[in-house]
């Protein structure tokens, strides 16, 4: 059941990602290179961290929405289209249950290290950290 040689496009999955990596869509590939270079510059050379970039982007979004809403009320224009931002009780309970499982696992590992003096777990935690 020998198959013939496969093309590089087929080896990369044969879809849009393969087209992007093989520069078959030049504009999209160039945009990907420029975007990756910009992200590298922001995080590596400019010294920003992900939380600072995220907080600045959210601050900019809030400022834009604030000025849009203020100008809309002054100019009798429609307000910015925002969905009703609510978190349901079911989602909060589900997140709390998942957090409870992870916290109990973490406490169990701490118990194994502190009380049972399990050296293997201690070394695994040290290597991981």
pLDDT, tens only, 64-105: 989 988 998 888 888 888 788 788 999 999 999 999 999 999
* Dihedral sign of CA atoms 97, 101, 107, 111 in order: positive
> What span, in angstroms and rounded, lies between the C-alpha atoms of 92 and 96?
6
Task: Report residue 63's pLDDT band, with 50, 70 and 90 as the boundaries.
Answer: very high
Give 111 or 2, the one with higher predicted confidence: 111
State the pTM of this model.
Answer: 0.45
Task: Report residue 3's pLDDT band, with 50, 70 and 90 as the boundaries.
Answer: low
Q: Which DSSP string corresponds to 4-60?
A: -PPPHHHHTTSSHHHHHHTTSSHHHHHHHHHHHHHHHIIIIIS---HHHHHHHHHHH
Q: For the chain, how long is the longest CA-to-CA vector?
A: 74
Q: What is the pLDDT of residue 58?
A: 94
Q: What are the residue boundaries of the structural domains of the chain, listed by start?
A: 8-74, 89-128
Give 14 or 59, the one with higher predicted confidence: 59
> What span, in angstroms and rounded, lies between the C-alpha atoms of 57 and 42?
13
């Amino acid at each position: 059941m020998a198959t013939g040689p496969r093309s590089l496009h087929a080896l990369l999955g044969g879809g849009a990602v393969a087209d992007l990596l093989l520069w078959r869509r030049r504009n999209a590939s160039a945009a990907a290179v420029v975007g990756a270079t910009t992200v590298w510059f922001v995080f590596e050379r400019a010294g920003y961290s992900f939380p600072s970039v995220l907080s600045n982007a959210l601050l900019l979004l809030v400022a834009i929405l604030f000025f849009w809403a203020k100008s809309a009320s002054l100019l009798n224009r429609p307000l910015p289209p925002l969905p009703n931002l609510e978190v349901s009780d079911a989602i909060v309970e589900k997140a709390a249950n998942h957090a409870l499982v992870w916290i109990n696992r973490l406490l169990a590992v701490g118990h194994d290290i502190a009380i049972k003096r399990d050296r293997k777990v201690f070394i695994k935690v040290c290597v991981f950290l």
